[in-house]
Copies of this chain bind each other. A is one copy, B any other.
Amino acid sequence: MGEISGPAAFSGDELQTWSSLATVLEWLPALLDAQLQRDAGLTHFEYGLLYALSVAPDRTLRLSVLAGYANSSLTKLSRAVTRLERRQWVRRTTDPTDGRYTLATLTELGWHQVDEAMPGHVATVRRLVLTPLTAAQHQQLRDITQSILTAAGPGHPWRSPTADTPVDMDGHT
């Protein structure tokens, strides 16, 4: 840490801001995961995979591309796809145009699974985050998160917020 950092401990004001954010950081993902797990037997991560496939052309993506969308290591993805395959929601194929790639395709069964899981998840996000905030707060939150993401700086592959096809793993376009 070779940087000017100020006093070693937070001021009361800093602490208020940070601890309130930290609390959300701790609980919100847990709540979302719990809902998906309870109602659809899916982790948020697995849901994200199924969702990304569901909006992809031919419901198919190369694993490496999917890993990018999911912000996941190939290891984690490979094992997750194995689990989803076991449940018949996804099928693996070798890319016919280049045998080095592996394609993941959403099955019909998997499509139904997304279809069933999405409304509950969307409703939960609305209930916990979107509805409680005023329109002004929506804008404020976007600005704030943008500042934080910018501070995290380049060198982190933030998903471009203006991408033409924002295959946002948490998104539901």
A interface residues (Cβ-Cβ under 8 A, vs B): 1, 3, 5-6, 8-10, 12-29, 31, 39, 71, 118-120, 122-133, 137-138, 140-152, 156, 158-159, 161, 166, 168-173
Contact = CB atoms under 8 A, between A and B. Distances in A.
A5 B121 CA distance: 10
16 contacts: A1-B123, A6-B123, A8-B119, A9-B173, A10-B172, A15-B173, A17-B138, A18-B129, A19-B170, A19-B171, A21-B145, A23-B145, A23-B158, A24-B148, A132-B148, A140-B144
How many copies of this chain does the complex contain?
Answer: 2
Contact of A17 (B27, B124, B142): B142
Nearest to A143: B137
